[in-house]
Amino acid sequence: MNAFFALLKRDLLLAYRNRGELANPMLFFVIVVSLFPLAVSPESDRLSGMAAGVIWVAALLATLLSIERIFRSDFDDGTLEQILLSPRPLPLLMLAKVTAHWLVTGLPLIIVSPLLALLMHLPAEALGTLMLTLLLGTPVLSLVGAIGVALTIGLRRGGMLLTLLVLPLYTPVLIFGANAVQAVTLGLEVAGQLYLMAAILVFALTLAPLAIGAALRVSVS
């Protein structure tokens, strides 16, 4: 457990030292969402109808945009090899890296989401559900995305490939997340979707670190 917290602390410290980059995913999230009223229509009923989907897609793209950073600098300066050589259990270390990444990019998205809900005229009663689905969903996006990064980190131009690998795997989270928020605005019961998202989160938390570790061992060799 010490190794877990040591790595977590190190990653958070590194992120804090590069504060300029910290805001990028959040800015991207806000900008993408604010493009929709311009492109589709500024009318409030049309906006509130698609608010859930737009916010969720934007959160997904923001995660995808930032996910490569999770291993990039460690890979470039050789830290990643040291992590792989460490006698500590690799999945635990991977979990620390993903946690740090989520705290730096996922959590700000959740914090800024009420503002976007306001911009998109999302009904106030759906706001809680939106934040809850993001809280349950964004860690899964980070975990699954990290598998994709681990597989493509050794490639020169892995960006497009990463998108192709990861986006199909993101669909369940997207479906349940957007669906739950949509259902709340219609006054329906959403416990089912939330339980499913929680189940997916637990599932990903258990298995994804193993897959990330195995993928890194393949890529860094």
Query: Shortest distance, CB of residue 27 to another protein, whole angstroms?
Result: 28
Distance separating alpha carbons of residues 51 and 34, to the nearest angstrom: 11
Query: Shortest distance, CB of residue 152 to another protein, whole angstroms?
Result: 7
Q: Is the Cβ–Cβ distance between 22 and 15 less than 8 Å?
A: yes
- Give 221's DSSP letter: -
Helix axes 19-39, 107-119, angle to 10 degrees: 30
Q: In the complex with another protein, which residue's Cβ is closer, 50 or 119?
A: 50
| Tokens found for residue 49 | 């109808």
Query: Shortest distance, CB of residue 33 to another protein, whole angstroms?
Result: 22
Q: In the complex with another protein, which residue's Cβ is closer, 58 or 178?
A: 178
Query: Shortest distance, CB of residue 120 to another protein, whole angstroms?
Result: 21
- Give 203's DSSP letter: H
Q: Is the Cβ–Cβ distance between 67 and 145 less than 8 Å?
A: yes
Residues in touch with another protein (CB under 8 A): 144, 147, 151-152, 154-155, 158, 161, 164-165, 167-169, 171-172, 175-176, 179, 196, 200, 207, 211, 214-215, 218-219, 221
Q: In the complex with another protein, which residue's Cβ is closer, 58 or 200?
A: 200
- Give 188's DSSP letter: -
Query: Shortest distance, CB of residue 51 to another protein, whole angstroms?
Result: 18
Q: In the complex with another protein, which residue's Cβ is closer, 92 or 167?
A: 167
Q: In the complex with another protein, which residue's Cβ is closer, 32 or 162?
A: 162
| Tokens found for residue 138 | 């964004």
DSSP state letters, 92-106: HHHHHHHHHHIIIII
**Which uninterrupted H or E stretch holds 104?**
none
Dihedral pair phi/psi, residue 89, rounded to 5° = -60, 125
